[in-house]
């Protein structure tokens, strides 16, 4: 699996465990019609926006093994949902190294880069 940068897909998060397949990675499989491929870092603004459009990421659902999300959690979100939040002015930061390449069919790389929070391998420019 590759990320949007053309490199191997890195893990998104294990606390809580994310991913359509709950592997910790935003892997996109044929069963994942929603393309849960954007590794997003939750913000209160994004969570509130998602709740307002009917995507409740806040409420724990123990029967689904879903703890409910808090600001700072990393979560694999549906590409069109992230794009909708961006259009509405509430996009969450994105970890490019952990965002699946299939997301590029929905969201342009230059837009994702504007919200990137990855730490570069070469820190000399910081």
Domains located in the chain, CATH noted: 1-117 (3.30.56.110)
Q: Tell me how far apart the alpha carbons of residues 15 and 42 are, in angstroms, rounded to a whole number.
A: 13
pLDDT band at residue 65 under the 50/70/90 scheme: confident
Work out the average pLDDT over 79-90.
97
Bridging pattern class, strands 38-41 and 74-77: antiparallel
Eight-state DSSP code of residue 106: T
For residues 82 and 37, what is the distance between their CA atoms, to the nearest angstrom? 10
Q: What is the CA radius of gyration of the chain?
A: 14
Instruction: Give the model's pLDDT for residue 63.
Output: 87
């Amino acid at each position: 699996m590759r990320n949007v940068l053309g490199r191997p897909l890195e893990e998104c998060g294990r606390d809580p465990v994310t991913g359509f397949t709950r592997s910790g990675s935003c892997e996109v499989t044929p069963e994942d019609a929603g393309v849960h491929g954007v590794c997003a870092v939750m913000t209160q603004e994004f969570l509130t926006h998602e709740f307002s459009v009917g995507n409740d990421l806040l409420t724990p659902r123990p029967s689904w093994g879903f703890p409910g999300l808090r600001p700072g959690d990393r979560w694999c979100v549906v590409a069109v949902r992230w794009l909708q939040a961006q259009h509405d002015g509430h996009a969450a930061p994105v970890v490019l190294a952990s965002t699946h390449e299939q997301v590029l069919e929905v969201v342009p790389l230059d837009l994702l880069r504007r919200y990137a929070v990855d730490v570069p391998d070469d820190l000399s420019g910081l």
